Amino acid sequence: MKRWLFNLIYCAVILLCSPIILYRSVRQGKYRNGVKQKLFGRVPKRQNILKNRVVSPNTKVVWFHAVSVGEVKLLQPLLQKIQKQQPDWCCAVSTTSKTGMDLAKQLFGNDWPVFYCPLDFSWAVEKALQRLKPDMLVLVEQEIWPNLIETAKKNGVKLAIINGRFGENGYKRYLWIRRIITPLLQQFDLIATQNELYAGWFRRLGVSCEAIHITGSIKFDGANADRNNPDTSRFRKLAGITEHDIVFLAGSTQHPEEKYAVECYENLKGDFPQLRLIVVPRHPERFGEVAAMLDDKGIDWERRSMLSGDGGLRPRVLLVDTVGELGGWWGAAAIAFVGGSMGKRGGQNMIEPAAYGSAVCFGPNTKNFRDIVEMMLRDDAARVVHDQREMEQFVRRCLEESDFALGLGGNAQNLVQRQLGATQRTLEFLTDLLAETIAPEPRA
């Protein structure tokens, strides 16, 4: 009966939000794709995804669910290790957003089935589980969907959360609805958390100590430290970035962070002609808004989507209006501002620019990455800037004092290096969990 209560709640929420859903569908192209998978669970069938593979008694189907771009990227180092160390595993990757789907197809589509996760209606998740018949369901970070979890458990599927974490507000909300959340979390066979803080929060929500293991953050393993990697090298050539240029990159930005970065560049370019600015908004639907702001300021700029690589002289300001490329662009940045940190979002991932050894700054609102921020500030690997004035002061100091910028970047890179290994630890726990699975009747 409980599952139908959740169904009613979901229907009510969709009904209330229908004007927003309709508007975004028409104006931004959202929610249009994958309707059969989302509403009716028409995901790939187990027998179809195993059809062209060598099937043995040890063959396992493992379903990984990653909500959007950040979680999809986080899966990349783990799935690479699985391919090498667990050839009997067949992985399937689901996501929720269109941008996440596009990136998942790009990263995994040649090797694994990729599909939209069904919405948490009982009929959709039941159909999906009947078709895919996974041996294990792995949720990335903190995806808690009642019908999916309970139906999977009822069907004998092993349940795991990897890279487990909470935003502070999310944890507080879970405390308010503990009577609902605790029974769900207790269904999990494994919760692999990023650190002791998150492990403690899971314990306070009623998860047994036996199910919780601290593995560290996979995000550190997924960060590229090589500035000569193929993506960064290609982007530098496309944008005409030379060895004499100093790139200030503002990435994963929200309003008004792009405006702050542009004003910072405008105020400094006269004293530092080698300075270049790259702006990468967090959400694709804001590309047009940021482009209009650049036009209003009369700045000579261009879009990433229009770069031709013809080797000509390029404008000094670039708007990256493509999805899934930020990791490569960070490699071109000597100075980095990590966005989503001056509003209410709670910050974005600052590990990637840190791994490259950029001089990193971010705003004061970074509660979603509190543990990483604490480590970076403790190791003198980043600075907090509270407004446009402090951002400009930070960039100016990096330009005037190369030792300061290099010191921050070196400390950040060393910090990332010391945190490596979470991917392997996570895979070992997943392997142990699957080894406990009783061999099912042949399902292929």
340-371 pLDDT, tens per residue? 999 888 899 899 999 999 999 999 999 888 88
d(CA 177, CA 431): 32
Q: What is the CA radius of gyration of the chain?
A: 23
Higher pLDDT, 444 or 65: 65
Residues 6+ apart with CB under 8 A from 101: 33, 34, 95, 114, 116
| Ramachandran area for residue 136 (φ above 0: left; ψ -120 to 50: alpha; else beta) | beta
pLDDT band of residue 441 (cuts 50, 70, 90) is very low
What does pTM read for this prediction? 0.78
Distance (Å, whole) CA 66 – CA 39: 18
d(C-alpha 426, C-alpha 168), whole Å = 23
Count the neighbouring beta carbons within 10 Å of the beta carbon of residue 13: 10
Per-residue pLDDT at 102 exceeds 80: yes
Mean pLDDT to the nearest integer, 21-44: 77
Could you give the angle at which helices 146-154 and 178-185 cross, rounded to 10 degrees? 30
Alpha carbon 163 to chain centroid, angstroms: 11
**Does pLDDT of 444 surpass 60?**
no
Q: Return the pLDDT at 20.
A: 65
Q: Which of 12-26, 62-76, 229-243 is the least confident region?
A: 12-26
pLDDT digits 0-9 by tens, 249-279: 999 999 999 999 999 999 999 999 999 999 9
HSE-CB at 438 with a 13 A cutoff on CA atoms is: 4
The reported pLDDT for the residue numbered 440 is 44
The whole-number pLDDT of residue 443 equals: 44
Residue 40: which pLDDT band, with cuts at 50, 70 and 90?
very high
Share above pLDDT 70 across residues of the chain, in percent, rounded to a whole number: 94
| Closest C-alpha to 162, from 133, 187, 145, 137 | 137
Q: Read off the pLDDT of each residue in 368-395 and give the average, rounded to a whole number.
A: 95
Tell me if 281 sits within 8 A of 292, measured CB to CB. no
For the residues 373-399, what does the mean pLDDT come to?
97
Handedness of CA 351, 354, 356, 362 (dihedral sign): positive
* pLDDT reading at 378 higher than 50: yes
What is the band of 28 on the pLDDT scale with cuts at 50, 70, 90?
low
pLDDT at residue 18 in the model? 64
284-343 pLDDT, tens per residue? 999 999 999 999 999 999 999 999 876 667 899 999 999 889 999 999 999 999 999 998
What does the DSSP assignment read for 335-373? Answer: EEEE-S-SSSS-----HHHHHHT-EEEE-S--GGGHHHH
Predicted pLDDT at 386: 97
